[in-house]
Chains A and B, each alone.
Chain A
Amino acid sequence: MTMARVAASQRSLLGHSYNLVGVVASLVILAWTLIAIFAPTIIPHSIGDIVDDDYFGPMRQGLWLGSDYLGRDMLSRVLMGARYTVGISLASVCIACFSGVVLGMIAAVTGGWLDTCLSRFLDAMNSIPSKLFGLVVVAAVGSSIPALILTLAVIYIPGAYRFARALAVNINTMDFMTVARVRGESTAYLIGSEILPNIMRPVLADFGLRFVFIVLLLSGLSFLGLGLQPPLADWGALVRENIGGLPFAAPAVIVPSLAIASLTISVNLLIDNLPQKIRDRDA
């Protein structure tokens, strides 16, 4: 109890109280973001250089995370991997949420056949399991970085649409919406100035969750060898190429897995520990 109260007393700039778990989680996310941005300048070795005589070398001074299956520095590879995992996922989640939310708001405001058609179609898309969808599309369009970003975005648009539409439909019945309509405002004004500000916070929480799904799916695809192709390597691909080290419990397999887990668990914990005011609107 006292712990909770002490933690709750920490106030952020937004004026909401955050607890300790939320603060730690956001620090982890911030750290990975900074690493993703500055990776090329902070890596100790070039990611292609073979710096160890042995493969699957243990952690030691100079090679802090050991070496991979070719004797390359694992620390550098994981830091650079952050770039691909965080970068690709962030790009796709932005596209997915932007398209999904805009379509969802338009559907809610316009209603009628547009709403029915969009909802039917996107619900059908939603009932294709995401990994399967990924497999089929990657088979069709290949796995270059832009193709991956678009594939991942398309897979998660239906979910973002459904979520935003449900929220927007509620707002749409409010009196101020009727007033705005009577004033003769355009659809663009209605969704941008009346609806969006009212659903912004739950949409942001949904953005975080969807980011986690995308990181997991991207890692899964890369792990299957269908995501990022060598010589590029995101965290999922790092686990795949070093899977041979599993019988010796080499750090080269464990560290990239831990990197993924630290990022996804942090985002989940941050969302779970957001102030009630933000979270509970998504009901």
Chain B
Amino acid sequence: MTSGVLNLVLKRLAIAVVTLLIVLFAVFFATSMLPGDTASILLGQAATPEAVAGLREAMHLNDPAILRFLRWLLGLLHGDLGTSYANEMPVAALIGGRFVNTMELAGITTLLSVPLALTLGITAAMLRGSLYDRTVTILAIGVISVPEFMVATLAVLLFAVYLKWLPALSSVNEAHTLTDLVRIYAMPVITLTFVISAQMIRMTRAAVIETLSTPYVEMALLKGASRGRMVLKHALPNALGPIVNAVALSLSYLVGGVIIVETIFNYPGIAKLMVDAVATRDLPLIQSCAMIFCLGYLLLITIADIIAIMSNPRLR
């Protein structure tokens, strides 16, 4: 690795940090724009004006917004996420267990969708133009074109209503045996896998097709290499960078998908927590959840960009 690549990667990381700051700033201000005074919401309608003023003072609500933002940021660095308005619990305690649940869901989905999507994407690219390729492409376009909740609804209809294999709702607390566990995770994971794989298949297929149309692959074909050898030995190693990039980029769609999937299946993760927080207008909780999601998303697209830089042989 030369200093050129290192520079580009460092630059990309710096951009990621700046972006994160802008995002935090945006989240903080969007949530402080919420109508209604926080102190009067907390104290209820019967509160005296003196009590409201006292609480405003105690919560530093009279300070300029930029000062409150800096204080919030400092709290974050100390691991202090604030206190939920709705039930007076520390946000960190509310998020803790649910974060693990969401990561489990995301992890299992990744383990399933990556091999599935890569196999389908690469084989579709190899058999470009065949009936198989067209079926895979059309299915992928179909899944991308419909909302996530529709994929979820169809999955419930198929597996829970017609086939009666799985329950429609999740409840992690009731899992006692391995079969219970499989039955609980099945519906959310199936839905998410569909959504993520569709993106990944399209991107992988495009990356491999691009490599297959390069002169050196044509050369391999002309010298009489078999189709399998041409793809595995000549095309794939060169398509690896774009493919890994496509995987990281597709996984960032998990962020949007998980919000819908956790809500529809009543899965106790942070996305469900956040949707509920938006409904009850619970500021600190919304801020922290939004921050976690943005962090995850930013991490994935930054990784994707860095891989794209590193895999470009012209920069090496």
A137 within 8 A of B: yes
With A212-B145, A249-B161, A260-B150 given, can you name 8 additional A-B contacts, CB distance below 8 Å?
A127-B298, A132-B293, A135-B286, A139-B34, A239-B153, A247-B161, A261-B146, A265-B141
Chain B residues at the A interface, C-beta cutoff of 8 Å: 15, 18-19, 22-23, 26-27, 30-31, 33-35, 141-142, 144-150, 153-154, 156-157, 160-162, 168, 252, 255-256, 259-260, 263-264, 274-275, 278-279, 281, 286, 290, 293-294, 297-298, 301
B18: chain A residues at CB < 8 Å are 120, 124
A142 within 8 A of B: yes
A249: chain B residues at CB < 8 Å are 157, 161-162
A-B interface, 9 closest residue pairs, ranked by CB to CB distance from nearest: A124-B22, A131-B256, A139-B278, A264-B145, A129-B255, A140-B33, A265-B145, A124-B19, A257-B150
CB pair A127 B297 closer than 8 Å: yes
Known: A253-B153, A260-B147. A123 touches B19 (CB 8 A): yes
Bound together, the chains give a CA A121 to CA B290 distance in angstroms of 19
Bound together, the chains give a CA A212 to CA B30 distance in angstroms of 25
Shortest beta-carbon distance from A161 to chain B in Å: 15
CB pair A225 B147 closer than 8 Å: no
CB pair B146 A136 closer than 8 Å: no
Q: List 29 A-B contacts (CB under 8 A).
A: A120-B18, A124-B22, A128-B294, A128-B297, A129-B252, A129-B294, A132-B259, A132-B294, A135-B278, A138-B278, A139-B281, A140-B30, A141-B33, A212-B145, A219-B149, A220-B259, A223-B147, A224-B259, A226-B275, A226-B278, A239-B150, A246-B161, A246-B168, A249-B161, A253-B153, A257-B149, A260-B150, A265-B142, A265-B146
Main secondary structure of the interface of B (DSSP, over half): helix
Total number of residue pairs linking A and B with CB closer than 8 Å: 134
Bound together, the chains give a CA A129 to CA B299 distance in angstroms of 12
Shortest beta-carbon distance from B18 to chain A in Å: 7
A104: chain B residues at CB < 8 Å are none
CB pair B255 A136 closer than 8 Å: no
Q: Mark A202-230, 1 if CB is under 8 A from B, else 0.
A: 00000000001000100110011110000
CB pair A236 B31 closer than 8 Å: no
B15: chain A residues at CB < 8 Å are 123
Known: A132-B255, A139-B281, A216-B147. A121 touches B260 (CB 8 A): no
Q: Mark A109-134, 1 if CB is under 8 A from B, else 0.
A: 00000000000110111011111100
Shortest beta-carbon distance from B248 to chain A in Å: 13
CB pair B146 A131 closer than 8 Å: no
Bound together, the chains give a CA A142 to CA B30 distance in angstroms of 12
Bound together, the chains give a CA A132 to CA B19 distance in angstroms of 16
